Amino acid sequence: MSSYPAFLCAAFGAAIALAPLRIEAAGLDAHLAGVLPVAAPVRTYESWTGADAFASGWSVYGGLTAALFGDVRDSGWRLRSSLSLSSYRYTRSYWDSARQVEVGLRFDGRVREGDIMLGYQQQWGPLTLKLFAGIVDIDKVDRAEAGAPLLVDDENGLQGTSRGARLALETWTRLGDWGFLQADASWSQPLDAYSTRVRLGYRLTPHWSTGLEAAAFGNPVPDQGRAGAFLRFEWSRGEASLSAGAAGDDDGVTGAFATLGTLIRF
C-alpha cells in the first residue's frame, strides 16, 4: 500500500484547497448583494470513524467525504476516501500427506484497505441516494499457526497486495416524522468481497432514535450474517450510533457483535 497515500493526498489536497475559495466566493456574493447570510453554515466535509468486534475478529475504520461544489448535505458531486484495518481468525481442513490424515489448521488474518472514490449524491424528496465508484488498495495475509506445514492460506483468495475497482451504493429514506430506512451495499474487485446493511429506525425524540438492523458480508473472512438493534443520537453537525446483536458465519462461529460509529460534518 505504499503508493496509496500519494494519490490519496493529491486528490484530497485539491478538494481541500478549493473549499475555502468556494466559501469565500459565497460570502462575497452575499456581501455584494447587500444581504446578510441567514442560511445554515455550509458543511463541506463529512468524516466518520468506527470500530467493530465479533467473536472471530475486529476492525477499525475511518474516512472523509468532500463535497466538490457545495454543501455535503445537498445534491452534488463527492470525493471520498477511507482506510480500514481488520483482524480475524478461522479454522479450515487440511490434508496432511505425511501423516495421511485430515487436520484442522488455525489461521490468523490481517487486512488493510484504502480506497478513493468519486460519486454523486441526489435528493428526491425524502430519499437520499449516493453512488460511488473508485479504486481500492488491499493488503491481506492469512498466516498459519506455529508449527503448521504451510505458512499462509493460499486457498483463501489473495495473499499479498492487490488493487482493483470498488462500488458503493447508499440510501436513506425519511418515513414521515416517525422514522427512517437506511440501506447500504458495496463490492470490491480484488477479493470479490461484498457487504450489505439495512436499518429500520424509529424516532424517540428529535435527537434520539432506535431500531433494528441486519447485515451480511463475505471475503476474506467466511460469509457472515448479523441481526441486532441500534441506538442513534444525532445533532446539527453529525451523529453517533451503537449497535449490537447476534452473528454467525459459514464456519459455524456464532456469538455477539458490537459496532460503534461516529460521523461529523464541518
Q: What is the pLDDT of residues 42-68, one digit of tens each?
A: 899 999 999 999 988 999 999 999 999
Q: How many CA atoms lie within 13 A of 66 on its CB side?
A: 20
| Kind plus residue range of the DSSP H or E element containing 183 | strand 179-188
Whole-angstrom CA distances from 115 to 130, 167, 188, 203, 260 are 16, 10, 10, 33, 21
Residue 26's pLDDT band (boundaries 50, 70, 90)?
Answer: very low
| Residue bearing the bigger pLDDT, 110 or 106 | 110
Q: How confident is the model at residue 264 (pLDDT cuts 50, 70, 90)?
A: very high
Cell of 264: 461529523
Q: What is the pLDDT of residue 13?
A: 53
| Average pLDDT score over the chain | 85
Whether residue 124 is predicted with pLDDT greater than 70 in this model: the reply is yes
The mean-pLDDT minimum among 28-42, 203-217, 243-257 falls in: 28-42
Q: In the predicted model, is pLDDT for residue 15 greater than 50? A: no
The model's pTM is 0.81
For residues 237 and 225, what is the distance between their CA atoms, to the nearest angstrom?
32
Q: How confident is residue 102, by pLDDT bands cut at 50, 70 and 90?
A: confident
Q: ∠ CA(35), CA(36), CA(38), 5° rounding?
A: 120
Domains of the chain, start order: 4-265 (2.40.160.40)
At 50, give phi and psi (nearest 5°): -170, 165
Average pLDDT over residues 126-153: 90
Place of cell 481500492: 136
Q: Calculate what percentage of the chain has a pLDDT beyond 70.
A: 82
Read off the amino acid at residue 78: R
DSSP output for 70-112: S-TTSSEEEEEEEEEEEEEEEEEEEEETTTTEEEEEEEEEEEE
pLDDT at residue 24 greater than cutoff 50: no
